[in-house]
Copies of this chain bind each other. A is one copy, B any other.
Amino acid sequence: MGSEQTARRFDDGPIGVFDSGVGGLTVLKAFHAELSGEKFIYLGDTARLPYGTKSNETVARYALQASETLAGYGIKALVVACNTASAASLPSIRERLSGIPVIGVIEPGAEVACRLTRTGHIGVIATEATVRGGAYQDAIQRRRPDAMVSVRPAQLFVALAEEGLHEGPIAQAVARHYLESLFHPPAAVTKAGEVTGGSEKASAPDTLVLGCTHFPMLVTAIRAVVGHAVRIVDSAATTAKTVRETLGTAGLSSSTGRSAVRFLATDGPERFARVGSRFLGQTLSPSDVELIDL
């Protein structure tokens, strides 16, 4: 009853989507399909990106500032569409924005991975900061305590996606660098010199979580290394479903039209529009982006 009232109160408000930069636009893109008719307000903290190489304390401070700014726009829910910020700051954001639901991208990604894996061996690639925090291991092993989780930082993927070098020989070389040894481990050699395939636990993951919103841009290069049998989890679509479930019928917009988006950035509307168009899959112009200070 209480949550229904809360949802109704914010019925007309937009859904806030926060990311360190343009990466979260891959999440917003999935929202368009799953949550049509909703209004969105997207904030990219482009002045201070990337979050993925920074300490948890700094990321948490920045994420709180951004969340409070979005709350000032009368949002009815907040999506932290940045894995690093989700990992570092979700509890503090929830505490600060107590009136509205706050949804991260890590739990939905972990949920799907646990559903898809058959062998119980799940690979996760993420930024340095997300890996350090251990949030994916926690979220996966809370659901499936017997899971084996192999986490690798893949920081360069961020720069490649931003530079538009998400396909081609460089992307492929970087994908091999990060993923080859995990997905094609050298056969184990026993003491007797016998080459074995190893136990199931020592084999490659059967599921790979893209634990950074930039990484779906590189899925072709990643797929070429991991092979076609591996299930690749991009949390964008699942996060959209979580938002739909969390808001419920009462909290969702009754409009049936196209969804509308307002874009805010803390730096460089020109770069945001140029790089962001690739991530969103539709053309943005710098005049679509409002420059704000946090």
Chain A positions near chain B (C-beta within 8 angstroms): 46-49, 53-55, 58, 128, 155-156, 158-160, 162-163, 165, 169-170, 173-174, 177, 267-268, 271
- Residue in B closest to A50 when the chains form the complex, CB atoms: B50
Q: Are A267 and B54 in contact (CB under 8 A)?
A: yes
Query: Which residues in B have their C-beta under 8 angstroms from that of A156?
Result: 159-160, 163, 165, 170
Contact B163 A268 (CB under 8 A): no
Copies in the complex: 2
A170-B170, A170-B174, A268-B58 are contacts. A162–B53 as well, Cβ < 8 Å?
yes
Q: Which of B47, B160, B173 is A48 in contact with, Cβ under 8 Å?
A: B47
B58 contacts A47, C-beta separation under 8 Å: yes
Interchain CB contact under 8 A, B163 and A173 = no
Interface contact B155-A159, CB-CB below 8 Å: yes
Please give, as numbers and ranges, the residues of chain B lying within 8 Å of A169 by CB-CB distance: 173
A170 to B49, CA, bound (A): 24
- The answer to whether residues A163 and B170 also contact, given A47-B58, A58-B267, A267-B58 and a CB cut-off of 8 A, is no
Chain B residues within 8 Å of A267, by CB:
54-55, 58
> Which residues of the partner chain B approach A128 to less than 8 Å between Cβ atoms?
271
What separation, in Å, do the CA atoms of A173 and B177 have in the docked complex?
13
Contacts of A54 in B (CB 8 A): 46-47, 267-268
Min C-beta distance of A263 to chain B, whole Å: 16
Known: A48-B48, A170-B170. 9 other contacts (CB 8 A): A54-B267, A54-B268, A55-B267, A58-B267, A155-B159, A155-B162, A156-B160, A156-B163, A170-B173
Distance (whole angstroms) from the CB of A124 to the closest CB of chain B: 18
A271 to B156, CA, bound (A): 16
A220 to B49, CA, bound (A): 29
Complex CA gap A158/B159 in Å reads 9
State which of B47, B53, B58, B177 has its C-beta within 8 Å of the C-beta of A170.
Answer: B177
Q: How far is the CA of A55 from the CA of B271 in the complex (A)?
A: 9
A92 vs B57: C-alpha distance when bound (angstroms): 31
Closest CB in chain B relative to A90 CB, distance in Å: 20
- Complex Cα gap A68–B155 (Å): 32
Across-interface contacts of A170 in B (CB, < 8 A): 156, 170, 173-174, 177
Contacts A170-B170, A170-B174, A173-B169 given; does A271 touch B53 at CB 8 Å: yes
A48 to B53, CA, bound (A): 10
